[in-house]
Structure 1
Amino acid sequence: MQSATPSNWPGSFGQRISIVGGSGAGKTYLAKLLSQRLGLPHIEQDAIFHQPGWQPLPRDEFRERVTQALAEPRWVVEGSYSATRPLILARAETVIWLDLPRTLVMYQIVTRTLGRLLTRKTLWNGNRERLRNVISLDPSRSIILWSWTRHGLYRERVIAEQQDPANAGIHYIRIRSRADLHTLLGRLPGFVTPGSAP
């Protein structure tokens, strides 16, 4: 199955939407907008997975909590966790794939991470970004290096998803630029895209 682009997308978003992409691609931003404009509950997988002190939720418990959230008839879920991906694909009607250029993603994640550090922003379950992790050369600790090293992997995964006959009933929308994103957002009720007349 080929991905549609926002400009040639013929249908509605459906009632169960999955947003995927690498770290820093803008999944949470888009999920919140879709949740607000379409009236869909927002499932943020990071908020489930990252426990206090950045402790990861055990895999089985993580899958169970996500399964419970997905049991609802309507939602928008964001995140690219391999542990829960099959659960999401079994229920999703539409996948919005944020396949932005690596340079743009890196700009977004660097500015986001620095902003969190400077403001000491509280994230999920009381966690905050840690400077020692940000400057680490270990991709499993540094979200910036994680995003850089796994950018191509996410693309391979989504392409493989689309080629799987089990997912033939899912509609994929591929976002490859900010222009694509603005086109997509322009289809939301009451949303004014940048540069549009008020």
Structure 2
Amino acid sequence: MLTCDDVLPFRPSRVLVCGVSGAGKTTLVTRMSRLLELPRYELDALHHGPEWTPRPEFLDDVRAFAASERWVSEWQYTSKGVSEILPPRADLCVWLDYPDRLVRARLWRRTLARSILRRELWNGNREPSIWRLATTTTPEENVLRWQTKTRDVWRERMPGHEARFPHLTFVRLGHPTETERWLGRLGR
């Protein structure tokens, strides 16, 4: 597994970004899309239909972009079958393995801002009200509880992912400063 100080030995054309909720996957996907001139696919937008219902076309949409030669996306929805589609096609996986306190604070800020501003996210959906966030206890309906439930998933699964996808180059970034340093080198 590479780190922020390692030189990437190739120019990637199919990139996955993984990490716990709040790590900054979508933000990094957007930046890498611009930097590498790759089409960007946001899995949340493909997954969530109106009223937060899963779109039946989700996996078909993922298969369609995965079959193309150039893209960047988040690696999430692993229980929905995404791990059978995207990693076999990707050539680079960037793992945002940031400190728990940092990603927790980021997720709180993002969630509260979205809730207060009532900003539309995907397909007409909005973050629940602050009251609903405070009273909803199921992780599947509350992103803050979801993050608590899943915060160690990538750390536990990464050795298995490396073994399962030996063709995939993995880069582990342990802090936003490492991400900035790595992106600076990638853009050269």
TM over 0.5: yes
* Contact 1:44 1:79 (8 Å CA) reproduced: no
* Contact 1:9 1:173 (8 Å CA) reproduced: no
Alignment of 1:112-151 (within 5 A): 112-131=110-129, 132-135=131-134, 136-151=136-151
Counterpart for residue 67 of structure 1: 63
RMSD: 1.5
Counterpart for residue 196 of structure 1: none
Q: Secondary structure at the match of 1:72?
A: coil
Counterpart for residue 50 of structure 2: 52
Alpha-carbon separation, structure 2, partners of 1:8 and 1:176: 14
Report the TM-score, using the length of structure 2 for normalisation.
0.92
Alignment of 1:1-198 (within 5 A): 3-58=1-56, 61-82=57-78, 83-131=81-129, 132-135=131-134, 136-164=136-164, 167-189=165-187
Q: Secondary structure at the match of 1:95?
A: strand
Please list the CA deviations of residues 143-178 of structure 1 after superposition, one character each: whole Å capped at 9, or x if unmatched: 0110111011122122210122xx111100001112
- 1:142 maps to a residue whose letter is N
Alpha-carbon separation, structure 2, partners of 1:107 and 1:13: 33
Alpha-carbon separation, structure 2, partners of 1:10 and 1:181: 13
Alpha-carbon separation, structure 1, partners of 2:46 and 2:183: 27
* Contact 2:18 2:96 (8 Å CA) reproduced: yes
- 1:34 maps to a residue whose letter is M
What stretches of structure 1 of length at least 5 have no aligned partner?
191-198
Count of aligned pairs = 184
* Contact 2:4 2:173 (8 Å CA) reproduced: yes
Distance 1:141 1:121, change over 3 A: same
Q: Secondary structure at the match of 2:185?
A: coil
Report the TM-score, using the length of structure 1 for normalisation.
0.88
Question: What is the CA distance between 1:79 and its match in structure 2?
Answer: 3.2
